[in-house]
Homo-oligomer: A and B are copies of this chain.
Amino acid sequence: MNRRPTIIDVARQAGVSKSTVSRVIRGDGASVREATRRRVEEAIAALGYEHNAVASSLRTERTNTIMLAIPDIANPFWPDVARGVQDVMDEQGIAVVFANSDWEGRREKAFLRMASRNRFDGVLINPIATDNDELRALSLPIVLIGSREDFPDFDTVGSDSYGAACQALDYLASLGHRRIGLIRGRGKSRPGYSRLRGYLDYGHESGLPLDESYVVQVNFDFEGGGQGLRHLLSPSAPLPQPPTAILAANDILALGALQAAHELDVDVPGALSIVGMDDIFAAVTTTPPLTTMAKPKYEIGRKAAGMLLERMEGGGQERPQRHILPCTLRKRGSTGPAAL
């Protein structure tokens, strides 16, 4: 007896048919006489009617909801991306929900199955355990976040890590550094080859002695950054001379390196310069604050959302597009002229 009112109840109350109520609710251009519309709206208010989105979705095959699937909500990279996505989708009246797989492939797959079971109109994803063919099998509008060459059938939106590495090295070179180390992350399925390629290529072009002996690969976390630094500065390392500057593959590694430098009493930036990548919040709180290559996180979100909308509307027969947005250098305190 106390069940929720439906459009039929509203129709009865307003003395019209359910079709007319539906027209009023949908609010698309459907023509309803002004007086009728008002009567329906009064009936809605009087009954406290709430639109049943599930029933609507069943008929229209649209949920007006998209999924943003990310591997790690704790990574400060994603909130800004999410903001960009939301700002675009909001204008279209589309809700964005987050699916956080927490680096568990099982969860990612569960979320994707949920998406294909009709709950979502589209998916933005940075995949960790799903490959090109599996995504294609979902036959859903999908746009990838991240520069992933291994997904030839999908639009991708990423940032130019390769160019960022070169730009960072160029800045360090301009400060007089010649021996520059690279701390790479190993792990979690994110290769990050682009940074290494940028590093090696820049070495070739510039004539600086950038080679594998200045590259160290560590776990992709704070402690890893410290280990990387210790290794590069250690007297036992097979390095002719230790580096005077270090580029880290992301800020977390860079912050670990910075803290290790403090512990070793190495002056930053006096004796050693450090550059990170991403520009997370913590980069600004350290002493000295971290110089880093900022990724255009918000723009990545906006761009990806825009492309997904296109896929959702246009039948989506166009060829996959790849967008790579440039990074920008944020000069802070952790870099300085090379020691003589």
Contact = CB atoms under 8 A, between A and B. Distances in A.
Contacts of A110: 95
Interface residues of A, number: 50
A74 interface: yes
Given A117-B51, A285-B282, A107 B90 contact: yes
A79 B57 CA distance: 30
Contacts of A262: 287
Nearest to A102: B83
B282 A281 contact: yes
A292 to B, nearest CB: 13
A100 B118 contact: no
A interface: dominant SS: helix
Contact of A284 (B99, B100, B222): B222
Most buried by B among A79, A116, A222: A79
A67 B119 CA distance: 14
Contacts of A259: 285, 287, 289
A43 B132 CA distance: 26
A111 B98 CA distance: 13
Contacts of A100: 79, 82, 86, 96, 98
A98 B83 CA distance: 13
Interface string A239-271: 000000000000000011011001000000000
Contacts of A86: 100, 102, 107
A230 to B, nearest CB: 16
Interface string A5-40: 000000000000000000000000000000000000
21 contacts: A51-B117, A52-B118, A54-B54, A54-B58, A54-B119, A73-B82, A73-B98, A74-B79, A74-B281, A76-B76, A86-B102, A96-B100, A97-B99, A98-B100, A222-B281, A222-B284, A259-B285, A285-B285, A285-B286, A286-B286, A287-B287
